[in-house]
Every structure is written in structure tokens, then in C-alpha cells.
Chain A
């Protein structure tokens, strides 16, 4: 029986002796040497994912003006940030559109700019127009403020994403006769394509399916900098159907994550425009998984052949919340470029980048190997099965 503690692993990291591999590299190691020998050798497995993660945004404290102002409406480059927090505290959501955006009135809308792009612009060092309005109070008399600002001018900027790194997701297809524009991308009629959005064998939560090592306080790669898991994410659903290897067969666990925006990079937080749908943020997340025992090694050695996703119709079943999945395919099939569903061969495309996911896992590996990134033991791990936490609908 192999047992390692966080303290022991961190001592090896500090000494520069930790064996760190990516979730891709560990697969072939486990196949060649077996679970036990690999578990004894490997201390940390790094994961990564880089895909559209809508439930993202940032808290800002904008600093006080002279005379002071209780900002009741705030816009950054025309995109409204929620100001109902405090006088100069706001939250800018990634999916927020400028009030002038025609949205889908000229269907399919282009959605060229939104909250996610403001975040990317700030990180790129660009100037952004801050506009604030207020009704004025005795203590906060100012009613209007306008200024071009940069991220450096903002006293406090906290990336806080309520739902990131979805553990597995649907494969979207379109059974209807017309092209549809969805958050899963453009779906051509009559199952002309099948789109997916997960890094599969590299994805953080698919490598720790029951969240044995991930929870509040887990230190992670976030947006090119260092961040932390702060809670389980919205719609966290550990109770879904799982395969024999424990890996969920449909969207399951999620993470709420946070970190200082100022040390992040526009390379790993990218505003994107999903035609006909809206704006979203590509977020880079990487999580180190400590190999505490053989079981953790077995989990991290999971490969694309053993991770499955449901194929879901986005013309009817997904929007109406009805119907059964059309089938189940593995990520190995999805990544080959086509899936077979019944007698149909359907080309596939991804919205999340496997290449960049691998790059994140590599960066995190280097951080740990160089001793600059130690693992943190979570204050508590995410709710797992049989804890009464599940996704619910409002009807």
C-alpha cells in the first residue's frame, strides 16, 4: 500500500525531487509499469483545460473619486458592471453585453464585444472607459464620473468565477432542418456536425472523479496566474450516472475559483464571440493532483477511451429540457474527428482547446518542478456522492 501525505509531497517539491507528470504522460506510464509502481514513483499529476466558461467575471474596487460618489450604475467600455455591491465595488460578468449591442435582433447576432473582452483588454494593458452614474447622497455627492483607466489604476481586481471546469459535458448535435447557433457552436442541420467542449483525459475533474483532493483552498493555475478553488461551483452535481471507473457520464462537478486578476494574462483569459449566442470567456484552469495512494494514480491514469459523453440534440431536447440522449461516445472517438451514431458518421469539432490544455498542464508541471508552486491541502473537499448536493431545475 502506497500512502503519501501533502506534507511529504511538498517536502519533495521543496527539495526539487518531486516526480511531476501531466495527466497525458501518466497514462502511458501506468500502462507500461502498472498502477502500483507508477503510484510509488509519481508524486503529482498536473491537469489542464482551456475552454469557454460562461460563469466567470471579476470583482473590482474602483477607488474613491473626489468628491466621493456612490456609484449606482457603472460601465466599462459600455459594458455594465453590477454596482449593487457597495459604493465603488462592482462585479463585471463575462457574458454581459453593451447596451448598444443588437444581440439577436439581426439573427444570428455577432456579439463582437462584452464583459469577457473588457477583462481581456484590461489584462492586455489597454485603456478602458469607466463611466459611472449616481443619484448623489450627503456623504457621496458626486453624480457623474468618466475616466480612461487601465488595470494598474484599479486598486483591487479579483477574478471570481462561480462555475468553471465542468466535469464532463454534452456533445451537441442538431436534429432539425435548419442551422442553429448555440453555446456549443454552430450546429448544422440533420446532425451535420457534433461539437464537444472538454479536454477529456487532461481535464481537472475527470482526473479526480470523486473530488478526493480538490476542495476549498486548492491552489491552482488560473488564467495564467495562481488562483484557488473557493467553493464548489454552481450546478455542482455529483449524483449523476457514472461509469465503472467513477467518471461521470454527463455534466457533473463544477468549481468556483478565484485569484488576483492582476497577475493573470490575456493569453489565458480570452473574450470570445459565439455567433447567435453571446459572449463568453475562455478560461485556462490547471489543477495539480497529489498521488496520495494507488487509487489517485488509477484515477489520473484515465484515458480518452474510458471517458464518455452524451450526444444531445440542441434543436429540441436541450432547449426544452426534454428527451433522452441520442447516444454515448468516448473522447477518443470525438478527438479522432468523427463519431458514429447508428449508421451515421458525423464530423466533430471542439470548442475547448486540447493543445492549450496540454500547455497548461506542462506550465503547471514546470512551476511545481521548479519549487515555486507547492500543493495545498483543501480545508474541505468538494461535496461528492451521497451528500445531498445536486443540480435542480426551477419550474
Chain B
């Protein structure tokens, strides 16, 4: 079987060689698609794991037993409010009104539930305050 998953590492386990054990002990192929691991900080890794389904289940149980959280690969658009300059250039770009302007306060809002992850906002935001996460 072959599966794309997201591994979330709590800060206390980021220095353990999980990928090595998945390959060596569980005979799984691990293809790292995206990784953000920093010493003593929470980490996140998008991987494609393939191999025998029994080995896959065992491997996943091993990761979970060590505190690693596993979630299916899903894209998500995130609004970095700190980076947002509140200009509102995005509101005419977003096709579903997930990015909107609260009037008359003139405050930009982002409603994640409305977002269809079209990613149009990523490059149309001058301040680069929109990010895609997996």
C-alpha cells in the first residue's frame, strides 16, 4: 500500500531518527515530500509511505506510541494575521468570500470554512500573508 500522510512531531521527540526506524525495522519506503524540523521545536513532515500493509500498520503504531501524531494529507490555507497589512487587495480575488472586508471598520477577515484552497490569494497578497499548509 501507498499513503501520503502528515506527521506532527512534538518538540521533545524531534531529535529521534523515526525515518531510519520506519525503513530499517518496518521495511517501509519513506519519501519525504516536505519537512519542517527544528531542534527542540515542534516539527511537521509530509511523507509518502509505501510497503506491506501489516508493516505499514505496525510502523504507524510505532510512531504513535512515541508521541508522533499522524493525519491524512490535506491542504489548508492559513491567514497569517501578523503579516497582514489590512489593505484588502485580496477581497476581490477570493472567489468565495472567505477573505472579506468588515465594513465600516475596514478590517480584513478570513473564514477558513468558506475557503476552497484555490490558492489565488497566495500571490495576490502583497504582504504574502496567506500560506498553504499540509
Contacts and interface: CB of A to CB of B under 8 A. Distances in A.
Given A270-B127, A355-B107, A337 B101 contact: yes
Contacts of B107: 355
A231 interface: no
A356 B103 CA distance: 14
Interface in B77-121: 85-93, 101, 103-108
Interface in A81-110: 110
B88 A350 contact: yes
Interface stretch (A7-15, A31-39, A185-193): A185-193
A282 B127 contact: yes
A18 interface: no
B128 interface: yes
Given A335-B104, A335-B106, A352 B124 contact: no
Contacts of B87: 51, 282, 350-353
Contacts of B85: 50, 270, 272, 282, 353, 356
Most buried by A among B107, B123, B126, B128: B126
A192 B93 CA distance: 10
A349 B104 contact: no
B97 to A, nearest CB: 11
Given A272-B126, A275-B124, A353 B93 contact: no
A161 interface: no
Contact of A355 (B90, B105, B124, B127): B105
Interface in A346-369: 347-356, 358
A115 to B, nearest CB: 15
A164 interface: no
A353 B87 CA distance: 4
B86 A356 contact: yes
Nearest to B124: A186
A62 interface: no
- B contact residues, range: 20 to 34
B89 A351 contact: yes
Contacts of A51: 87
A274 interface: yes
A267 B103 CA distance: 23
B88 A110 contact: no
A158 B118 CA distance: 42
A273 B128 contact: yes
Interface string B25-42: 000000000000000000
Nearest to B128: A273
Given A335-B104, A337-B101, A355-B105, A185 B89 contact: yes
Contact of A354 (B90, B92, B106): B106
A322 interface: no
A374 B127 CA distance: 33
B131 to A, nearest CB: 13
A348 B88 CA distance: 9
Most buried by A among B86, B87, B88, B128: B87
Contacts of A275: 123-124
A347 B92 contact: yes
Interface string A191-207: 01101000000000000
B14 to A, nearest CB: 24
A112 interface: yes
A353 B89 CA distance: 9
A353 B88 contact: yes
A277 B106 CA distance: 25
Contact of A335 (B92, B103, B124): B103
Given A193-B92, A282-B85, A349-B88, A274 B126 contact: yes
Contacts of B103: 335-337
A354 B85 CA distance: 10
Most buried by A among B89, B91, B103: B89
Nearest to B82: A267
A272 B85 CA distance: 10
A52 interface: yes
A350 B105 contact: no
The 6 closest A-B pairs by CB, nearest first: A272-B126, A354-B106, A193-B92, A353-B86, A349-B92, A355-B86
24 contacts: A50-B85, A112-B128, A185-B126, A186-B92, A195-B89, A270-B85, A272-B85, A272-B127, A273-B123, A275-B124, A280-B126, A282-B126, A337-B103, A347-B91, A347-B92, A349-B88, A349-B90, A349-B101, A350-B88, A352-B87, A353-B87, A355-B86, A355-B106, A355-B108
Given A349-B90, A350-B89, A358-B106, 10 more contacts: A110-B123, A193-B92, A272-B126, A273-B123, A336-B103, A350-B88, A351-B87, A353-B86, A354-B106, A356-B86
